[in-house]
Amino acid sequence: MWLVAGWAAYLGAWSAAVLLAAAICTWAFGAGLLRVVWVSPFVPLLLPNPRGWRLLLARTLPPRQRDAATAPDTTVHRGWGHGWGWAGWRGVWLGSWLGAAMSGLGWFARRSLVAALRDGARASNATLAGIVRLNAHTTFGRRYGFEELMAPLASATAATAASKVAAEREVVEAFKVAVPLATYYDLAPWVAQVAGGEQNVLTSESIIQLGVTSGTSYSKKQLPVTQRQKTNFFFKGIAPLFDVLFTHFPQARGLQKSLKIMFQPTYSTSPGGIKVGANSSAPSDSPTLLNMYTTPPVAYEIMSEPDLLYVHLLFALKDEYLGSLEANFVMLIHHLFVRMEKQWRQAVEDIERGRVSAKVQMPDHVRRQLEDYMAGPDVSRARMLTREFEAGFEGIARSFSLYAERARYYLGDVPIYSPLYAATEGLLGVNLDPKGSAYYLVPSNMFIEFIPLDHCDQEQPPTLGMDEVEAGQSYELAVTTAWGLYRYRLGDVVQVVGFFEDGDGRRGAPLIEFGYRLGQLLNVRGEKTSERAMAEALRHASALEAWRGRGAGLVDYCCVDPAIPRASFLPPRGESDDDDNEDEQPRAPHYDLFVELEEENEAKNTKNEYDEELWARRAEVVDEELCRSNPIYRSFRVKNGIGRVVVHGVRAGTFDELRATILRNGAPPNQVKVPRVVRDPSHLACLARGLLVTAAAAN
């Protein structure tokens, strides 16, 4: 009995010691006294953090010496993520263990992904065979004879691996014959059945949501979402990225939090009781993962996008150890920095006072909890931020191509990494090289077909598989998914730039670069000017001397669909219009380009009028760049089959108002993108309200 009691006391003492050690380590993490060095994907080594000890010892210095050493004021609570209170400890503890778990998971997930990429065509065919088997007895599957398509698989069940590969290839060919290529208008009647509550229509699995697209190219669509789609997105897309990040950016293994710019979407319910809304990541999807981010979870009860963006900014600025910035689109990162440049004084004052400004609208209980997370005034942090901001904004963060270039001004040499190619339809590609902008298509998530660009205008064009595409060629993608999309044309045009290679001589999954959306294509006479071509023309034009003038920096742009009459989006023209002879000779079809430049409200001549001559030069250089980059466009311009480009300058803030209009029209906040080709009447009206000057290129 005494022996048992002795062992119990011994084990109890050891348990208490372990708990005490865990508590001390948790406190040390929060205090920054320990750092983590990973000796393998699974083995962390705890070492002293010299900077943390120096900051701790600096607490004993007089305030003046402490400020001179730029040491943070550790006599007050750090607050969320790096505080001495329970909220900070809990966040650091959970964040550190989540980081360790993600490191190990990422190691396994990346190797699973690489196995699929190594033989992309084989994995792709197997994926389709699995989809046909899964949904053979759905309404859609019965309509198109999925059970008959499975016959080769049944005969190959007990055969060799080679015969199974051949059987899967037979299923693919039979599937392409039996099921036609489809657009959303073909899919819509099936989705209507799902929305009405019918089961087993497109997929045998439960549909948990109808994902709403952003509606950038055309009207918003509703697409089926299952738990499989979300699970695949995480394990085949997000999880491998942790290994990529930890490999290329070892500092990411530390305990820093990230700023993730996201908003809580609003949802509605279909007649059949299915949730309807954005399919992008939402705070409510993974509450535990919120401990890895600087923004407190309660902030997501703020439904106003501008107010929540300010709160994102406030808590990111408060965290001096911020490790990274995350967003669905680089546009959101750019908007954050623009907001910072405009509101940094308010943010610094809030940090200094330990309060959230009354100008920021939110429920009272949210404000109280946010101020609890701020954990009191932080005068030293406020002073440090003030010094940084007063020194200017270029490269201040050193601790979509247009937005990436503009964000680079603020980010300095901070790496910009675009890790995923994804849409409401699901995960399509993963970028395994943070220095590049190309994505390996994931063959194990969905079956992907490639439509040669020359055949995109056809209703039922021929398609190619992953092993049939060629580097340097462009294709439209069509996808088949387990969650109810069958040979669905995405409208995305990509260029194959390479293939996965693993040293064994086999050609793996395609490596692609995103080109453009077919719905965002300017096409007057068959010239097919893509979003990328227009962006490149503007980028080159704005760098030329002829473009220069006050406020010449390009903020944003869009074009009007050439099929829309000018009278529907521009005010009546007066006698001074540059086309006063239009009644005699109607203008040829042309591009109407709306652009916003930095501080253009000040770009006037000495007569306090907008410099139309300067704007005409700008239109001319854009036209010349389009001619240079697109021979077909140039040939039509020479023949006057396409008219000269017309550039409409808009006042500062017009594109912010356009984004607000898109939000008011019901677009999900996490998915708002400026359409490059505008068709919506409310969008056109917004641009017209901001119009300052119109000028055309010379003939």
Q: Examine the fold and report which residue of 370, 393, 411 is the final residue of a domain before the chain moves on.
A: 411
- pLDDT at 359 exceeding the cut of 80: yes
Indicate the range of 194-208, 435-449, 583-597 predicted with least confidence: 583-597
Helix boundaries (H) for 32-138: 50-57, 63-68, 86-118, 120-134
Q: Confidence class of residue 106 from pLDDT cuts 50, 70 and 90?
A: confident
91 domain residue, yes or no: no
Contacts of residue 281, defined as CB under 8 A and 6 or more positions apart, other chains included, come to 262, 328, 670
pLDDT at 464: 97
φ, ψ of residue 48 in degrees (nearest 5)? -65, 145
191 domain residue, yes or no: yes
Q: What is the mean pLDDT of residues 181-191?
A: 95
Which residue would you say has higher pLDDT here, 360 or 545? 360
114 domain residue, yes or no: no
pLDDT at 68: 43
pLDDT at 291: 76
The pLDDT tens digits for 429-485 are 999 998 888 999 999 999 999 999 989 889 999 999 999 999 999 999 999 999 999
Same domain for 658 and 535, yes or no, is yes
Mean pLDDT of the chain: 79
Q: What is the mean pLDDT of residues 535-563?
A: 77
pLDDT at 77: 34
The pLDDT tens digits for 206-244 are 999 999 886 655 567 899 999 999 999 999 998 898 888
Which residue would you say has higher pLDDT here, 337 or 223? 223
What tokens appear for 295 in the block? 């923004």
β-pair partners for 450: 464, 477
Q: What is the mean pLDDT of residues 56-66?
A: 46
Q: Domain span at residue 321? A: 256-264+281-411
- pLDDT at 111 exceeding the cut of 60: yes
Same domain for 403 and 550, yes or no, is no
- pLDDT at 587 exceeding the cut of 80: no
Q: What is the mean pLDDT of residues 616-642?
A: 86
Q: Confidence class of residue 614 from pLDDT cuts 50, 70 and 90?
A: confident
Q: How far apart are CA 407 and CA 340, in angstroms?
A: 12
- pLDDT at 419 exceeding the cut of 70: yes
Most confident of 69-83, 336-350, 451-465, 493-507: 451-465
Indicate the range of 15-19, 422-426, 560-564 predicted with least confidence: 15-19
Same domain for 490 and 563, yes or no, is no
Q: How far apart are CA 607 and CA 83, in angstroms?
A: 58
Same domain for 482 and 535, yes or no, is no
C-alpha to C-alpha distances, 80 to 199, 264, 314, nearest whole angstrom: 45, 20, 12
- pLDDT at 188 exceeding the cut of 50: yes
The pLDDT tens digits for 3-36 are 555 555 655 666 666 566 666 665 565 555 565 5
Same domain for 484 and 570, yes or no, is no
Q: Examine the fold and report which residue of 378, 411, 444 is the final residue of a domain before the chain moves on.
A: 411
- pLDDT at 697 exceeding the cut of 50: yes
Amino acid at residue number 272: G
pLDDT at 498: 95
- The number of distinct structural domains making up the chain is 3
1 domain residue, yes or no: no
- Calculate what percentage of the chain has a pLDDT beyond 90: 33
pLDDT at 612: 79
Which residue would you say has higher pLDDT here, 251 or 646? 646
Q: What is the mean pLDDT of residues 483-509?
A: 91
φ, ψ of residue 6 in degrees (nearest 5)? -65, -45
pLDDT at 489: 96
192 domain residue, yes or no: yes
Q: What is the mean pLDDT of residues 284-298?
A: 81
β-pair partners for 37: 45
Q: How far apart are CA 118 and CA 135, in angstroms?
A: 27
CA angle 327/329/335 to nearest 5° reads 80
- pLDDT at 624 exceeding the cut of 50: yes
Same domain for 457 and 322, yes or no, is no
The pLDDT tens digits for 511-540 are 999 988 887 778 887 788 888 888 888 888
C-alpha to C-alpha distances, 105 to 25, 353, 681, nearest whole angstrom: 23, 41, 48
Same domain for 223 and 291, yes or no, is no
C-alpha to C-alpha distances, 233 to 52, 110, 425, nearest whole angstrom: 37, 13, 11
Q: What is the mean pLDDT of residues 385-401?
A: 63
- pLDDT at 310 exceeding the cut of 90: yes
Q: What is the largest CA-CA distance in the chain?
A: 113
Same domain for 458 and 344, yes or no, is no
What tokens appear for 181 in the block? 């290529």
Checking DSSP bridges between strand 474-480 and strand 447-452, what pairing results, if any?
antiparallel
Same domain for 192 and 297, yes or no, is no
Same domain for 508 and 447, yes or no, is yes
pLDDT at 7: 57
CA angle 655/661/662 to nearest 5° reads 95
β-pair partners for 470: none
pLDDT at 618: 87
pLDDT at 236: 94
329 domain residue, yes or no: yes
- pLDDT at 574 exceeding the cut of 70: no
Return the closest-CA partner of residue 427 out of 409, 441, 412, 410.
441
- pLDDT at 611 exceeding the cut of 80: no
Q: Is 295 helix (H, G, I), strand (E, B) or coil?
A: coil
566 domain residue, yes or no: yes
pLDDT at 242: 84
- Calculate what percentage of the chain has a pLDDT beyond 70: 73
Q: Examine the fold and report which residue of 388, 411, 434 is the final residue of a domain before the chain moves on.
A: 411
Q: What is the mean pLDDT of residues 306-318?
A: 91
φ, ψ of residue 630 in degrees (nearest 5)? -135, 100
Q: Confidence class of residue 601 from pLDDT cuts 50, 70 and 90?
A: very low
Q: What is the mean pLDDT of residues 375-404?
A: 71
E-only strand ranges, 21-61: 34-38, 44-48
pLDDT at 602: 46
pLDDT at 171: 94
Q: Which single residue is written with the structure tokens 């897309």?
A: 237
Residue 538 near residue 622 (C-beta atoms within 8 A):
yes
Indicate the range of 14-18, 610-614, 650-654 predicted with least confidence: 14-18
449 domain residue, yes or no: yes
Q: Confidence class of residue 74 from pLDDT cuts 50, 70 and 90?
A: very low
Same domain for 489 and 635, yes or no, is no
What is the three-state SS of 662-686?
Answer: HHHCCCCHHHCCCCCEECCHHHHHH
Same domain for 341 and 374, yes or no, is yes
- pLDDT at 307 exceeding the cut of 70: yes
What is the three-state SS of 187-218?
Answer: HHHHHHHHHCCCCCCCCCCCEEEEEECCCCCC
Q: Confidence class of residue 205 from pLDDT cuts 50, 70 and 90?
A: very high
pLDDT at 496: 97
